[in-house]
Amino acid sequence: MAKTDHVCVECGYRTPKPLGRCPGCGAWGSFRQAAPEPPRKEGKERPWAAAGLLRLSQVDEGEERRFSSGLAEVDRVLGGGFVPGEVVLLGGEPGVGKSTLLLEMARRMPQRVYYVAGEESPAQIKLRARRLRVAELLLVRETRLEALLALLEQDPPEALFVDSVQTLEAGGAPGSLVAVREATAALVRFAKESGAAVVLVGHVTKEGVVAGPKSVEHAVDATLYLETAGVYRVLRSAKNRFGPVGELGVFRMEEEGLLEVGNPSEAFLQERPQGVPGSAVALALAGERALALEVQALAARTPFPAPRRVVQGLDGRRVDMVLAVLERRLGLPLASLDVYVNLAGGLRVLDPGLDLAVALAVYSAVVGRPLPEGLAVVGEVGLLGEVRSVTGLERRLKEGERAGFCSFLHPGNTRSLKEAVERHLG
């Protein structure tokens, strides 16, 4: 007779015999008997899952056809829509709008969608669905993994939304590492065998990563984060096997739900003041999407021995490098000044193409002279003070023209930071 392992429901440590205290995480009384893996049904195997070799030429390319989520911004982040059999992990802070986004997709998708409601009662979901004008929805109020899989195999959907994966009971206490890992693995197998697209909602820890922590992310095909950026919601891809990584989708939370923002550049620049020192418009690239964003800077005399450097929305290390270049190569006095740099709108973009905008905004704030109206800048700043080329320059310039800018400063028409400063702030 095969031995039955015991597993810690907190960290997944396995042992032949139950222990009082787990050696892995130190939890007391956390060992439970591991559930045996259910036998696979014959006739359900796919060619790629059977034993043996498979030639790449034998793979059916039709399996990679996509279907729309019903929202253009979500399709953009996914790389063109859902791929049959794709498993997507959707993370975000509590209350950011993850459930609302799922209901919006379920309302617009023509496919047969099951909504697994693990955190809310059907009555609560109906109240929110009425506000979002969702007329009909197929709800599943089942959190036991085995019962849920039996229902799905009996009548498989084309898309499955699970809200959330932490509520499923699978081999451990709901929300524990073991339960989340086993539930995710089982739903991944279901997605690959049935061809249904699966979206798993995952809670975010205090560190800002999807709870699990990484044992869930490596098992799925795509990881998306829904974040707050001022009055907007930003959907960002952190991992995507079928599309670009770092792509952004922008929404606005209104009373009737999440509304897509078709022109994010206009939205993020609509409150930009005119003729004020310390402001520069940068042409950024997030994934495949070009955006026109405002970089703001403020310099003030410090009362402390060491001046402060405060950065929001940008890479703090790159900003420190740009400040060092300004001080060393251009002689800008920053040793006695506190410098604050902010990407307006609450967005976070880690793009070296914003270096030139940061440098000009800081220089403008220190000398008290504004940049010319209608100017948009893009370029990476090197340690020698040179302006270096960036990826997607043509896309950035087209977005600048679409946003209404008529003058551009980029690596194609300026060679150094000193030249850029003398031309527009000298």
Give the chain's end-to-end CA distance (angstroms, integer).
Answer: 85
Under DSSP, is residue 87 helix (H, G, I), strand (E, B) or coil?
strand
Q: What is the pLDDT of residue 95?
A: 87
pLDDT (tens digit, 0 to 9) for every residue of the chain, 426 residues total?
445 678 887 777 888 888 888 888 888 888 877 765 555 555 554 544 455 677 888 777 655 589 999 999 999 999 999 999 999 999 988 889 999 999 999 999 999 999 999 888 889 999 989 888 888 899 998 889 999 999 999 999 999 999 989 899 887 677 777 888 889 999 999 999 999 999 999 876 555 555 554 668 889 999 999 999 988 999 999 999 999 898 999 999 888 889 999 899 999 999 999 999 999 999 999 888 999 999 999 999 999 999 999 999 999 999 999 999 999 999 999 999 999 999 999 999 999 999 999 999 999 999 999 999 999 999 999 999 999 999 999 999 999 999 999 999 999 999 999 999 999 997
Show the tokens assigned to 388. 């270096």
Spacing of C-alpha 85 from chain mean position: 21
The predicted structure's pLDDT at residue 385: 97
String of DSSP letters for 271-325: TPPSS-TTEEEEEEEETTEEEEEEEEEEEEE-SSSS--EEEESS-HHHHHHHHHH
Give me the half-sphere count of Cα atoms (radius 13 Å) on the Cβ side of residue 328. Answer: 11
CB within 8 A of 179, min separation 6: which ones? 9, 166, 168, 169, 170, 171, 172, 173
For 185-232, give the DSSP string.
HHHHHHHHHH--EEEEEEEB-TTSSBSS-HHHHTTSSEEEEEEEETTE
Residue 49's CB: how many other CB atoms inside 10 A?
12
Whole-Å CA distances, 354 to 65, 168, 244: 36, 43, 20
Transcribe 25-64 into DSSP letters: T--BS-EEEPPPPPPPPTT---TTTSSS---GGGS-GGGG
pTM of the entire predicted model: 0.82
**Chain centre distance of CA 19:** 40
In terms of Cα–Cα distance, which of 166, 169, 171 is closest to 31? Answer: 171
Say how many C-beta atoms besides its own lie within 10 A of residue 37's C-beta: 10
CATH topology of domain 67-262: Rossmann fold (3.40.50)
Is 86 in contact with 222 (CB distance < 8 Å)? yes
CB atoms within 10 A of CB 232: 19
The pLDDT assigned to 213 comes to 46
- Residue 246, number of CB atoms within 10 A of its CB: 17
Backbone angles phi, psi at 253, to 5 degrees: -80, 115
- Could you state, in order of their start, the residue ranges of all structural domains in the chain? 1-34, 67-262, 266-424
Q: Which CATH architecture does the domain made up of 266-424 adopt?
A: 2-Layer Sandwich (3.30)
